[in-house]
Chain A
């Protein structure tokens, strides 16, 4: 599978390295060349310096042949815009965007983008831990009482 990733953030680099390790054809785009240092030493994919909201940069990443596009920079709006470029201009079959703001995430999910919202995921997991620890405690207390 050919995957284009915009944003060599911690998560971006991790996804890129894993996909590459699993034998996929990966291209990573980032405005900051130092960000590519986050990739593993074994990473054999391509890196492109530039911004993924520029159609020409996406074209140089060969996005026209991509099976998936992942927008995972630290800017919600940049991810949203790039995802829509990939979806509407280049017709990439699978487009995924990281969006921190839950309201924006909901809005763009309705517009057909696959969205990942770290804010809701992290808070849900923390809630699970909190409720998971409180409930057994309560049960224990009830039993003891």
Chain B
């Protein structure tokens, strides 16, 4: 695959290195000439200097035959415009943008960026999972499918304690995938009864997440 990476910060540098090792054809576009010199010594002639949002730079980089364009600068506005230019002018099939402000993920999708990666959100999620007292935790979001996998620890006073799964009114588009009870992993059936302390792993649509949270942890 031919992949254009825009932005030679830490992310761009290690991304380029990894993609090259995997055998892809990669071109890294970076504004800072000093960085271009250093990277060229390490990677060879796969680094060019320039503004990746500039059409002439993208054209010279061969954007028209690129399979993927990945924008990973530290500025959201630059990443957005790089992806939009790649798509609008060069019809690059897949554009990927790093999103620094997590709030921009939704916007970038709306504006035609194929994939967004939010470091901030990833770090927040990891920290969230590492804090043991949290009753309701995101495990994974499958953005393109609009699905989230969550883990909830059932408190003593939850309304669903003592009820069997078939008698609980779950929101639509929610499925209980597993229940962790001490060392035991239970694949639930309709007859499985919820007890306090159960760690419930559920798959839910984004829109139903809040409703599911209220049901499982009363919050």
A122 within 8 A of B: no
Residues of A within 8 A of B107 (CB): 55, 84-85, 88-89
Residues of A within 8 A of B88 (CB): 107, 110-111
Residues of B within 8 A of A80 (CB): 77, 80-81, 84
Residues of A within 8 A of B53 (CB): 76-77, 101, 104
Interface size of A by CB at 8 A reads 21
Counting chain B CB atoms within 10 Å of each CB, which of A56, A89, A101, A111 scores highest?
Answer: A101
B110 within 8 A of A: yes
Determine whether the beta carbon of B54 is less than 8 Å from that of A101.
Answer: yes
Query: With A88-B110, A101-B54, A103-B55 given, is the CB distance from A76 to B81 under 8 Å?
Result: yes
Task: Give the contacts of B53-103 with A (CB-CB under 8 A).
Answer: 53-56, 75-78, 80-81, 84-85, 88-89, 101, 103
Residues of B within 8 A of A55 (CB): 103, 107
CA distance A85 to B148 in the complex (A): 26
Residues of A within 8 A of B81 (CB): 76-77, 80-81, 104
Determine whether the beta carbon of B77 is less than 8 Å from that of A78.
Answer: yes
Determine whether the beta carbon of B77 is less than 8 Å from that of A77.
Answer: yes
Majority secondary structure, B binding face: helix
Determine whether the beta carbon of A53 is less than 8 Å from that of B54.
Answer: no
Residues of B within 8 A of A75 (CB): 77
CA distance A88 to B81 in the complex (A): 15
Residues of A within 8 A of B140 (CB): none
Task: Give the contacts of A80-129 with B (CB-CB under 8 A).
Answer: 80-82, 84-85, 88-89, 101, 103-104, 107, 110-111
Rounded to whole Å, the gap between the CB of A36 and the closest CB of chain B is: 22
Majority secondary structure, A binding face: helix
Determine whether the beta carbon of A104 is less than 8 Å from that of B78.
Answer: no
Determine whether the beta carbon of A104 is less than 8 Å from that of B77.
Answer: no
Residues of B within 8 A of A78 (CB): 77
B172 within 8 A of A: no
B111 within 8 A of A: yes
Closest to A84 in B: B111
A62 within 8 A of B: no
Residues of A within 8 A of B111 (CB): 84, 88
Determine whether the beta carbon of A77 is less than 8 Å from that of B75.
Answer: yes
CA distance A110 to B78 in the complex (A): 19
Residues of B within 8 A of A54 (CB): 101, 103
Residues of A within 8 A of B75 (CB): 77
Could you name 25 residue pairs across A and B whose Cβ atoms are closer than 8 Å?
A53-B76, A53-B77, A53-B104, A55-B103, A75-B77, A76-B53, A76-B81, A77-B53, A77-B81, A80-B80, A80-B84, A81-B77, A81-B81, A82-B77, A84-B80, A88-B107, A88-B111, A89-B110, A101-B53, A101-B55, A104-B53, A104-B55, A104-B85, A107-B88, A110-B88
Closest 3 pairs (CB-CB, A-B) = A77-B77, A81-B77, A103-B55
